[in-house]
Amino acid sequence: MYKKIFLFISITLLTLTSCDKRDTKPVYNLSKTTSGVISVPYEDIGGVKIIPVKLNGITMNMIYDTGCSGIHLSLNEVQTLAKNGKLDASDILDASYSTIADGSIVENGTILIKRIEIGGKDGIVLEGKKASVALNQEAPILLGNSVLDELASVEVDNIAKTINFNKK
């Protein structure tokens, strides 16, 4: 009986806390760019699209994943950021929970990424975004929709092998 009540309360709390409140305005003003489109080349590896993204100044090849809700890193990337002086104790926030593709719920850490750069010097710059951290070394690093859906519409050009962010 107590197990059922605990399970119900846990699921309810996870449901209520899993959705972040969105800002009322985009975090980046695309009207400042000189072009109507920001094109980011991708590499197709094993059926997934990999794009270069700078996290706090360190370039990482991330999977563009429309099924992921935000930024997801493994402990390896967090250690790389810390070793290079790009992450400190104040950037480590708390624990969080997420549902993965098989439906199971896993515990993650949460950190603050101070600066995200996508598409080079004239590309997209985001500041102050949270990232979940898998508590293992081998998790894939993902760039998901909540980072990108605030910015612009997105088109994938499979011929030119680019992901194109169109201004709103």
For residue 168, name the pLDDT band (cuts at 50, 70, 90).
Answer: low
Residue 68 has pLDDT above 90, yes or no: no
For residue 84, name the pLDDT band (cuts at 50, 70, 90).
Answer: very high
Query: 9-13, 85-89, 110-114, 144-148: which has the minimum mean pLDDT?
Result: 9-13
Domains of the chain, earliest start first: 2-166 (2.40.70.10)
Give residues with Cβ within 8 angstroms of 4, minimum separation 6: none
The tally of CA atoms less than 13 A away on the side-chain side of residue 33 is: 21
User: What is the value of pTM for the model shown?
Assistant: 0.73
For residue 150, name the pLDDT band (cuts at 50, 70, 90).
Answer: low
Side chain identity at residue 98, one-letter code: S
Mean pLDDT across the stretch 42-67?
Answer: 94
Side chain identity at residue 135, one-letter code: L
Residue 10 has pLDDT above 70, yes or no: no
DSSP code string of 43-92: EEETTEEEEEEEETTEEEEEEE-TT-SSEEE-HHHHHHHHHTTS--GGGE
Mean pLDDT across the stretch 70-92?
Answer: 93
Which residues partner with 66 through β-bridges? none
Nearest to 33, CA basis, from 151, 105, 123: 123
The single-letter DSSP state of residue 141 is: P
